[in-house]
Chain A
């Protein structure tokens, strides 16, 4: 082996080491949570911290769905459902619906801005962008009062409207960027060939906008999926999503971290699966600065 090969291979090794180190840093919290979820209560805080040498248990996972009330009036233990499925299902409904709505409305809006001459387009677009500059917490009180007035507290409609509104500015801006990259000759060609603009939009533009839509969907989904504050304050039982529920795992003996870890692991899984499924689109979508024309 000559010196240049040695240097090159050393460079490769160093690169891989750096990547491995970065991966460890980013993935460790997730690993720790999953790890903790299998630990019995007594071993969660053991010092030195145990990574693999503990006796794994599925108790935590069981407790996510079912609590054992240790003492009842009759002195016998009984099982009560925690209601986790309900909150988890709510999260799915709220996140999926609001993401789909934001994507649909956002793409349509972005298309209009991209293809048509709209007076004051730049101003309107900036106004839309400025919604993201507002920390949502600032408006929590006014929205609470508004929702109470409109009887939207603790309703699916109320939460979906709210989450869609959160995601719309982002969706419009992301999709406008993607749609601008698609030359309008494509729908021109379809229209000259006999299609209406609407047909051309669905048959010719959307297939090419899919990477952008996937990227937008993933980011929107993550935002809504993890949303905590509004979920906590605007709902109580019916429409409550999972995050506010996750933190309430308290037993007589203190905060059951193992149970929280188990619930978190379950909670994180759908998003991981979804992102994995659209990973090809996501890769193209996230690098949308690179022109492929």
Chain B
């Protein structure tokens, strides 16, 4: 399996800059998810790695070799398309055999054997003689996966493969895909706009916006140490609450439109002390706000605007002055619309952002060693996760190498 590196990749389509000095490293055996909204440049990134797009500037390195100008056919990577791109005039078996016939170096018998092998792993053997139009969405998706797997390519590139599946199947396939990737030790670059997929499947996540890397890190880092407002609000459902704040008298925080100031404490206070500007945004995730139906000390008052009971928990929309926040509450806490509710923001888990640049204000070095500040992730985390993966794969027998 290969290591893939992108260095300062820039790609424009006419006036539009799709990728802007994009750089990252995808380690061997790693599952890296490129996460971003539509138009962020995720598919362009994938196609650049595959060789289907040539960047205007920058390099694509596969296993250390500069492959920027090399044909896609020679790069030996496998691509799973969002719409599967299964050839409708061929059977499933022929679809899966097709990549192996490109160089005519495998015998018909070997090809048939390899196809059956991969079909077995994906449990699509009974479908081999059918045409793609006779398959369900989930079956088509597995055939597309199978076609990518037959060649034993050195990396897998997946363009939102689960997007066209219904919700239930998507949940099932998420874990299946991840299991498969672990099993095969496949270097995988996975593109999606679904943050749940990114969080549940990625070893690391690269958050992309308008062609620029916002942050690269483990799901934990992305979720708990977002580098800016965009990352903070893109990941997490319901969205992180973002309250415009400014400094008040007596060293506390005033939320705009709300008369009672918030007392500063914990991590937010450290960040506040390092803030040089006065237009700030306080970010607090719905689960980091504590609620009570009755007034408690150190709790502030709000009004219930709406409630969404989900069975295991309830999400309340609270009106705080002119602001509206969403808070997760245990199911047994029931307060009706229009009634008051008391809340306290956990200041050890909330974040402060600069409202102009959107960047998170770092609370300072007196924090846990795993805190990330740069956009590239700590070297140590990367090395640790690499060691763990290689340890796993050293113990596996190498797959039989057949020319492909």
Contacts and interface: CB of A to CB of B under 8 A. Distances in A.
Interface of A: 183, 185-186, 188-196, 199, 204, 207-208
Contacts of A191: 51-52, 71-73
A160 to B, nearest CB: 32
Contact of B52 (A188, A194, A195, A208): A188
A183 B52 contact: no
A189 B158 CA distance: 12
A188 B151 contact: no
A189 B89 contact: no
Contacts of A199: 102
A204 B102 CA distance: 12
A199 B101 CA distance: 11
A202 to B, nearest CB: 13
B77 A192 contact: yes
Nearest to A196: B73
A190 B103 CA distance: 12
Interface centre among B85, B99, B404 (most CB of A within 10 A): B85
Given A188-B72, A189-B79, A189-B81, 13 more contacts: A183-B83, A183-B85, A185-B83, A188-B81, A188-B85, A189-B147, A191-B73, A192-B73, A194-B73, A195-B102, A196-B71, A199-B102, A207-B87
Contacts of A194: 73, 99, 102-103, 151, 404
28 contacts: A183-B85, A186-B87, A188-B47, A188-B85, A189-B79, A189-B85, A190-B98, A191-B71, A191-B72, A191-B73, A192-B52, A192-B78, A192-B79, A193-B78, A193-B98, A193-B102, A193-B147, A194-B73, A194-B99, A194-B102, A194-B103, A196-B71, A196-B73, A199-B102, A204-B87, A207-B87, A208-B88, A208-B89
Contacts of B85: 183, 185-186, 188-189
Contacts of A190: 98
Contact of B72 (A183, A192, A208): A192
A190 B100 CA distance: 11
Nearest to A189: B85
Interface string B143-156: 00001000100000
B147 to A, nearest CB: 8
A193 B144 CA distance: 12
B50 interface: yes
A121 to B, nearest CB: 13
Contacts of A195: 73, 102
Interface centre among B47, B73, B99 (most CB of A within 10 A): B73
A262 B353 CA distance: 90
A188 B89 CA distance: 17
A251 B143 CA distance: 70
Interface in B33-86: 47, 50-52, 71-73, 75, 77-79, 81, 83, 85
What's the dominant secondary structure at chain B's contact region?
loop
A192 to B, nearest CB: 4
A183 B78 CA distance: 18
A189 B77 CA distance: 11
Contacts of B87: 186, 204, 207
Nearest to B74: A194
B209 to A, nearest CB: 25
A192 B102 contact: no
A291 to B, nearest CB: 13
Contacts of A185: 81, 83, 85
Contacts of A208: 88-89
A207 B87 CA distance: 10
A195 B151 CA distance: 13
Given A204-B87, A207-B89, A208-B88, A193 B81 contact: no
Pairs of residues from A and B, 4 with the lowest C-beta to C-beta distance, nearest first: A194-B102, A193-B99, A185-B85, A189-B85
Interface string B377-404: 0000000000000000000000000001
A208 B89 CA distance: 7
A186 B147 CA distance: 13
Interface centre among B51, B52, B83, B103 (most CB of A within 10 A): B52
A16 to B, nearest CB: 32
B92 to A, nearest CB: 15
Contacts of A193: 73, 78, 98-99, 102, 147, 151
Nearest to B102: A194
A191 B83 CA distance: 16
